[in-house]
Structure 1
Amino acid sequence: MNKPNVLNGLVLTGGRSTRMGQDKSQLIYHEKPQREHLTDLLRPFCDAVFWSVNVGQAAELSSTEQPLIVDAFDIPGPLNGILSAFRHDPKAAWLVVACDMPLLTETSLTALVNGRDAAKPATSFYDSNGQFPEPLLSIWEPTMEPILQTALASGYYAPRPILMLADCHLLTIPDVRELLNVNKPAEQKALKHRG
């Protein structure tokens, strides 16, 4: 059996956070900014961990030692970060995590990495409804890159439908609550009151 490709981590932080009104990657749920918390979570599973950032963030983070991958495409949404990661290292697989998942733990990451099928273009959990792939907590293999390029050329920018068409390997997450996305101040407030 072939050894799986290098597995890098990619924390998606490059969104505009318009609904939250502030940078979601800098919100603090676990005593440090979320992007740093997720980096620490990913490190044991990955060869290297990168932050996916937009051009403005890259300028603000010019003095950081944290490895960055700057959005390289003029397209909206998380697909920009994923494609930019493949441009950075097309031979690596990428464990992609959205910065707005504050309940994510190593339990789910362990299940994802242990359940990885490197022979498929991607390994993903079913989403919170248990029906479709959750693209923003997934492993994207190098074989996915040409599929993404084809989708991009056809005007498809949403990662979930691309995964649905790509014969990805689907897993059930151990605790579906870990897929919670916090995108708005009211959701953040509700989460703090729940804690």
Structure 2
Amino acid sequence: MNQLKKITGIILAGGKSQRMGQDKGLMIVNNKPFIQHIIDALMPLTHEIIIVSNTSAYDTFAIKRVEDHIPNAGPIAGIHAGLMHSKTVNNIILSCDVPMITTSLLEKLTSYKNDDYDVVQFEANRKTMPLIALYKKRCAAYCLDVLSRGEKRLRTLISEMNTKTIVLPKKDWFLVHNINTVTDLKTIIHAIDH
């Protein structure tokens, strides 16, 4: 295995997408599903990619798909499932609704892979982004501990771990923008076209 690529990419595609009204990972922007943009950004940095989803539609991407071990427990359960299936210490975890993410931006996370942080996350516009982050495999135990207490909030999980936050310049905020609504999608498409 290439030493540089001892990283697993984990894409969380298990959300209910209530605000969008359809599965966000399969929505199209620039002629490709969101999840394909994310796969393309991860490929140069990882030796394996795992999709965490209960939806078999993701099998068409010919990438390993796993389901949550703990159902209906939100993104922490998705992170837990992905880390349990990972074979690497370092893992880039991304939600499926950030199609503008780039390899070069993700490289900023991997530059901390040899440090002792549990999590390295981005911050944009004063908002931290634990679903665009580098997680150590050992974080699976923290996830299980938090979930066993009935806690589903990602912020609680992050607050209990040794976390590094990288503050992004304003020019990069666009790249980490979550697309949660049709309006968000139209805004992104408009920005691409101009």
Global fold match (TM > 0.5): yes
CA contact (8 A) 2:6 2:47 kept: yes
Q: What pairs with 1:2-81 in structure 2 (closer than 5 Å)?
A: 6-54=6-54, 57-58=55-56, 60-61=57-58, 65-81=62-78
Unaligned runs of 5+ in 1: none
- Residue 159 of structure 1 and its aligned partner are, at CA, apart by 1.8
Distance 2:160 2:30 in 1: 36
Distance 1:40 1:103 in 2: 11
Distance 1:5 1:144 in 2: 20
Amino acid at match of 2:52: S
Aligned sequence identity (%): 23
Task: Indicate yes or no: 2:152 matched with 1:157.
Answer: yes
3-state SS in 2 of match to 1:72: coil
Task: Indicate yes or no: 2:168 matched with 1:173.
Answer: yes
Q: Could you say which residue in structure 2 is the equivalent of 1:187?
A: 184
Distance 1:63 1:172 in 2: 35
Q: 1:143 aligns with which of 127, 138, 144?
A: 138
TM-score by length of 2: 0.85
Amino acid at match of 1:77: G
Unaligned runs of 5+ in 2: none
Distance 1:86 1:139 in 2: 11
- Residue 49 of structure 1 and its aligned partner are, at CA, apart by 0.8
Deviations 1:119-163 (A, max 9, x none): 121111124315xx4110011102212221211111221222211
Please identify, of 17-26 and 117-126, the stretch whose mean Cα deviation from structure 2 is larger: 117-126
Q: Tell me the C-alpha RMSD between the 2 structures.
A: 2.3
Amino acid at match of 2:95: A
